[in-house]
Amino acid sequence: MTSRPPFTLKTAEEIAIMREAGRITARALQAMREAVRPGVNTQTLNDLAEQVIRDHGATPAFLNYRGLDGKAPPFPSTITACINEELVHGIPSPTRILKEGDIISLDTACFYQGYIGDAAFTVGVGEINPQVQRLLDVTEKSLYVGINASLAKNTMRDVAQAIQRFVEGHGYSVARGYTGHGIGKTMHEEPEVPNWWSRRLEGRGLTNTQLRPGMTYALEPMVIAGRGTVVELSDGWTVATKDRSLCAHFEHSIVVTEGEPQILTLL
């Protein structure tokens, strides 16, 4: 497997560029959020996001991406679009048409002046069941739990355990096998940013990184209404829950500071 580039502490100038990359990403996500409704297909959402990204002088970071190890088929789209039991990496299509009561997770990233902004959200299509809305609310809140724990006095384990306690305390599962990641000049830098922690996780070599001012990473809790096991589908990209239960995904790129962490992917 190709290793991730080591994490680097970003300068104020680099963070300023990443903040603009994040704003462009946030604009693309907002445009898609406003377009989500029954009858819309996911290719339309993809095209809308790509137009926003390019109109702001950036380029799509997902398009033609080949995964961390470089062995995946080139990703064919600007966004990932995941409906209901699909967790991450869903490929948009003109034949994937949203229906009343669905939920959809939308994720995108862009390069701007050599740096990346990456963010995601999950939203209901039309009216959704209150219990489904609870899943979305808990997942989004878990993202902010992780952000609030991203203090220079803490370690990555502190962040992961805070997210896991919050999610499991509300009766949901954290998806295993997929994590957040350092971000900067490449999409996936060190450190790996898990949403759970266990001895098994430490056993696979994941380092309990001490957080330091200037670290930038994408936090992205992935929460499942059922069990935490996931499977990759036949397209080589889409990941879905094994038990076909609903799931949600929220993400922001952040920077650790001397004080409170700052979100880089805001309008």
Residue 3 has pLDDT above 70, yes or no: no
The pLDDT value given to residue 168: 98
CA angle 143-144-145, nearest 5°?
A: 90
> Domain residues of the chain, as ranges?
12-263
Residue 249 has pLDDT above 50, yes or no: yes
Helix (H, G, I), strand (E, B) or coil at 260: coil
List, for residues 104-162, the tens digit of each pLDDT value.
999 999 999 999 999 999 999 999 999 999 999 999 999 999 999 999 999 999 999 99
Residue 187 has pLDDT above 60, yes or no: yes
Of the pLDDT bands very low, low, confident and very high (cuts 50, 70, 90), residue 2 is: low
The pLDDT value given to residue 68: 84
**Cβ contact 79:33 at 8 Å:** no
The pLDDT value given to residue 205: 54
3 vs 102, higher pLDDT: 102
Helix intervals (H) in the chain = 12-35, 42-55, 130-148, 156-169, 199-203
* Average pLDDT estimate for 185-208: 82
Of the pLDDT bands very low, low, confident and very high (cuts 50, 70, 90), residue 18 is: very high
pTM, whole model, 2 decimals? Answer: 0.96
Of 19-28, 132-141, 197-206, 242-251, the least confident: 197-206
Residue 261 has pLDDT above 90, yes or no: yes
**Cβ contact 245:226 at 8 Å:** yes
Residues in the chain: 267
* Average pLDDT estimate for 17-41: 98
Number of alpha carbons in the 13 Å side-chain half-sphere of residue 12:
1
List, for residues 199-210, the tens digit of each pLDDT value.
776 655 567 889
The pLDDT value given to residue 260: 98
Long-range CB pairs of 177-181 (<8 Å, 24+ gap) are 177/230, 178/87, 178/88, 178/222, 178/230, 178/239, 179/220, 180/217, 180/218, 180/219, 180/220, 180/251, 181/4, 181/217, 181/218
**Cβ contact 173:223 at 8 Å:** yes
CA distance 118 to 219: 9
Report the DSSP beta bridge partners of residue 241. Answer: 230
Percent of the chain with pLDDT over 70: 96
List, for residues 38-78, the tens digit of each pLDDT value.
999 999 999 999 999 999 999 999 999 998 888 889 999 99
Percent of the chain with pLDDT over 90: 88
The pLDDT value given to residue 7: 80
Sign of CA dihedral 86, 91, 92, 97: negative
The pLDDT value given to residue 5: 79
Of 8-22, 82-96, 184-198, the least confident: 184-198
By the 10 Å C-beta count (0-12 exposed, 13-18 middle, 19+ buried), 2 is classed as exposed
CA distance 36 to 177: 29
The pLDDT value given to residue 1: 36
The CATH H-level (homologous superfamily) assignment of domain 12-263 is: Creatinase/methionine aminopeptidase superfamily (3.90.230.10)
